[in-house]
Structure 1
Amino acid sequence: MIKVYPKESRFSRDHGWLQSNFSFSFADFYDPDNLQFGSLRVFNDDFVRPSQGFGKHPHEEMEIVSIVLDGELKHEDSEGNSAVTTFGGIQRMSAGTGIYHSEFNPSSTQEVNFFQLWFLPNKKGVEPEYQKTTYEPSKMKNNLLPVVSSQASENVAYINQDVTIYMSDLNTGKELTHTQEAGRKMFLFVIEGDVTLNDNIHLSKRDSARMTDETSVVIQANSDARFLLIDLV
């Protein structure tokens, strides 16, 4: 089954310094029928104005992934980690037994747009951990490029959950097929452009799809498209 969530179905909040779009219940947005999808608990599409950000705040027992689409995002935490990430970079934080962190836009001129994803961990009580990785955006071209996985490598961030996040740039007229084991789920989010799934399901910019009981999906680009695909439990 493939269920489409148009971009208009997201909850949006404009704080002036921050424009947020929530795909799941988060903060002051609560929908008991939209709390999570498998282990995916949060998918926020955030735009933060220059020299603004989220002050120091706590997290625990959550795997938190930040994916920068445009601009710069700076992370600092109570473990002494500090890093700036741009497009082509991933920030992954295992909150574990508890950590404080902040995220803000260090640029004085440019807005930052990033996704923040939260996943329920596959084990609790781990030591807090922060990791920054980079990938080569050119390898996204007509390819599903893994950027986060429980099977980590030099350019793939590790996560304490049976999840793989792929990024892709798909040229007009091209298609990709993703196959997975029965019983798993897929979440697809269109960043730019528009695509068709399995020849008959159309998604435009910022639309998403949640797939269950599907062992494969064919993704076709109707225009040059950039999207994110999550293979998860």
Structure 2
Amino acid sequence: MLKKLSKENMGASNLGWLESRFHFSFAEYRNPKNINFGALRVLNDDIIHPQGGFAKHPHKDMEIISYVVDGEITHKDSMGNEKTLKRGEVQYMSAGTGVMHSEYNLSKTEDLRLLQIWILPPQKNMQTLYGSHRYKENERQNRLLNIVSSLKGDAKVKIHQDIEIYVSETTQEIQYSIKKDKQIYFVQIEGESLINEQVSLSAGDAMEITDENLLHVKPLGKIHFLFIELKSEF
């Protein structure tokens, strides 16, 4: 089943320095019918304006992935990590027993756009992890790039939960065989696509894909997308 989620129907916030689109209930956007999709608890499409950012704040019992779409993000945390990442690069943090961190756009002129993805861990108080990976542009051109996996998976970025995250920038059709007992949350980051020859998505839209064996993405021009494959039951 394909369930299109139009960006116009998502939660939205504008704090001046931060513009957000909330795929699930978050902050002031409250929808009891839209809390999570399996282990996927939060997906925020954020634009942080120059010199803006999130001051130091705590997280616990959550696995957090930041995927940079445009601009640069600078991260600092209570474990002593500090890093600046650019388009297509990934930062992750499994805040098991608790972590303090901050995220800023230190540019004076350029906006930062990123997808913030929060995954519920398989259990509480798991080992705290932090890392990042500087994926290269050609790794995701006209093919799928597995950017995040479970600890048993093959991606350069690994978290505790049983998920896979893929991205692509492509002008070519992409096919992916959905694993048994898995479902997909698909995000159209840029451009327009036709999914499984049935439903079209525009930039900012999303889709829940359940009880399907195949994902077929047909670009309508150049596109940039991300999808998360996770257990159907959680």
- What TM bracket, shorter-length normalisation? over 0.9
In structure 1, what is the Cα distance between the partners aligned to 2:104 and 2:153?
26
Superposition pairs for residues 20-99 of structure 1, below 5 Å? 20-99=20-99
Q: Tell me whether 1:123 sits opposite 2:123 in the alignment.
A: yes
In structure 1, what is the Cα distance between the partners aligned to 2:156 and 2:43?
19
1:201 to 192, 199, 204: 199
Moved more, 119-128 or 39-48: 119-128
Structure 2 stretches lacking a partner, 5+ long: none
What TM-score comes out, normalization by structure 2 length? 0.95
Q: Tell me whether 1:177 sits opposite 2:175 in the alignment.
A: yes
Between the aligned residues of both structures, percent identity stands at 40
Cα root mean square deviation, aligned: 1.2
Corresponding residue of 1:107: 107
Corresponding residue of 2:142: 142
Structure 1 stretches lacking a partner, 5+ long: none
Deviations 1:82-114 (A, max 9, x none): 111111311000000111111111112211111
CA contact (8 A) 1:182 1:214 kept: no
SS in 2 for 1:54: strand
Alignment size in residue pairs:
230
- CA shift at 1:12, angstroms? 0.9
Deviations 1:59-104 (A, max 9, x none): 1000000011111101111111111111131100000011111111
Moved more, 174-183 or 111-120: 174-183
CA contact (8 A) 2:178 2:215 kept: no
Counterpart amino acid of residue 17 in structure 2: W
Deviations 1:150-178 (A, max 9, x none): 1455x62111111111111120xx31111
Deviations 1:128-150 (A, max 9, x none): 22101121111212211111111
CA contact (8 A) 1:73 1:86 kept: yes
Counterpart amino acid of residue 82 in structure 2: S
What TM-score comes out, normalization by structure 1 length? 0.95
